[in-house]
Structure 1
Amino acid sequence: MEALESELISRIYEAAVFKERWPNVVSTIAHSCDFWGGALTWQAAGERRWIGTAGFMEVIEEFAAEGWAAKNIRLEKANREGQFSFVRDADLFTAEERRDLPIYRDFLVPRGLGCATATLISGPEDIEISVCFEQRLTSGPISNETVRLLNALRPHIARSLLLATELDQQKADLLTTGLHAIGAPAAIVQGNGRVLSTNPLFMAARGRVSIRAQDRILLRDDGANRLLYQALSEITGHDRIKSVPLPATEEEQACIVHVIPLFGHALDFSPQGTAIVLIAQPSATAVDDLRILKGLYDLTRGEARIAIEIQKGLPLPEIAKRLQISYETVRSTAKVVYAKTGSSGQSDLVRRLSVVDRYALPPSASPRNG
């Protein structure tokens, strides 16, 4: 048992530096203790992320899809009672309670589960990390010897996880510091808008952006703020950059906020991050090119053409006449352009897109169809 404990401790500390090894660590502990599976979960500012064995993660997906995550009394009580050691279901609920509680009766027991042990590890600020191992009901109760081994591992798991969290923060800070060195105001944020790291240039833009309750990012312009959170919520499944125009104010020049998804090797800098939010301050070179609007705001060629005409101050009927299309087409397309750029109407669109006039592109042939 001592040899096993020593081997597990070595793997636990390796995972502090190489975070991709945590699933293997969890799987090794689960196999060594004859558990069916296990998982770690990080929770901060209302956002929860899981790392675990394959079978456990499949059950977690079903658990979330069926709405149990919002009423997980089992994990809530395990976290309350397991702040100093691992606790078992039998330590939390009587046999009668487990028979009657919906989470056991309707979800766990039908899958042959409902016999687990868990503990809570409190991290810096509001980070909470749960460690849970699940055993099949047919395997009988979790033994005291198994709990003793897990409790011997617990301080090492806690130190390793906290070290991993600190290393993640350092890597995120390194990325934003690098962007600061090239003059880019930037922050790393999660999908819910929680800010993980910023650089001084970003914090200096207080007239345009701020960090509010629960460390959430906030753009001062309501329309732009809606577009920012929409972009963050839509990142899953694609790696397209989204751009949000910020109109000029009496104190600040117009600018563009780029939402750049963190994918692949970029996640090495911030495994908990979702995107880099970067504020672009363009140069003062006038350009009239459809590629800019199409690229920055995901406009189609037709939408970009109408946006440019609106930007010139032309009324919609005049735009329809100039482009030789119907007024209804211009009006419906303009509404799409307003939505994509966070504008409330023609004058607001002109104000927001004033920044685009200062983006320069190298000379090229006429824009492609798109």
Structure 2
Amino acid sequence: MATHRLDGLIRRIHAAAGHEARWAGAVSALRRVMDGRCAVLARHDFLRGRGEWLVDSPTEPQARQAYAEEYSARNPWFMSSVEYRPGRVMGGEELLHPDELVRTDFYRQYLQRLGLLHRLCGVVARRGDQVWYLDVLRGPSEPAFGVDERRRMRTVLRHVSVSLKNHWSLRDTDQMNRALLTVVDDLAPAVFVVDGRAQVLLSNARCEAFLDRCPGLRLRHGRLSAEVHTEQRALLEAVARAAEVDRERPGDGPADQVVSLRAGGGAPVTVLLVRPAGRLVAAEGGIREGAAVVVGKTHGVAEHDMERCVFPRLFDLTPAQARLAGLVLSGTGLWDCARRLGVSENTVRSHLKQIYQKTNCHGQLDLVRLHAQVCTEYL
């Protein structure tokens, strides 16, 4: 066997870690390298007494289905789980002599119909009662597997073990990400995960509608961008600071930051909460780089419920001041505030001035920013 054939097989095995469909090519290459008639990547559950071929070469859908539904439970090679230790390479004759195998229903009704007899098995991994293994099989007229084939299998087995564990890790991470994103879609406001340059890495289902109704924020070439130049600088600085924080080191870096964006023309104020997301592994090169979570909220969509909000109690606002603050935080103009509260515009201005004094704010934008920092119902 040429060395390049084994090298090619190993490359295929590791390429399959991130692409499930590539396991078919890896198993086919294994069959050729091992000079087998059939090769499979399979799983067996000793507790249930059943198993399945996950990938087979050549592909035999009917044989694979028959094995899973009937013959895996009658496979004499799986009478005992003791022999199936991760990393072990063994021939079928070590578990059952060929003379005994050919007298079983498993052989007469299954293996013989497929033209198979000799087996070489490599145990890839084991989790509890479940075992994953490689099988290469030959026909009755072909020689049993010898020392050279066992040596090749041991070499291959080490790489398959690493690749399969990486495959499981990537799959589990992807499933967890999908599950978390589903929860975020259902429960949270617009959430963007961005890198230190505000390039969006991940966003939930609410982000598209959020951007449509928030003229102060745009997505340009995949990056979050503020309409106003000075606010764009504030946004990028906040994201960069958050991305530099190492979440694995408590107390490192700034706390959550609030960025307020305006678009003019009476449009509602957009408030973004920027918080560290820790170090993420980039898809290319495996480089860990910082990321930030940007949570968005628009003032002006609906009047904020100040009775549930901690803001008035925290700053000792009177009931009248709290009602006015709720309207202002919802983007209501002063004239409309006066009309809805049944007071004059001068009274509104007087109450608003007192609110600014109690909260140490210098304007409506400061008030919006401060409220976003303290109100848990808000973001």
Query: Scaled by the length of structure 2, what TM-score is found?
Result: 0.44
Bigger fraction of residues in strand: 2
* Larger Rg over CA atoms: 2
Greater length-normalized contact order (CA 8 Å, ≥ 6 residues apart):
1
Query: Scaled by the length of structure 1, what TM-score is found?
Result: 0.45
Bigger fraction of residues in helix: 1
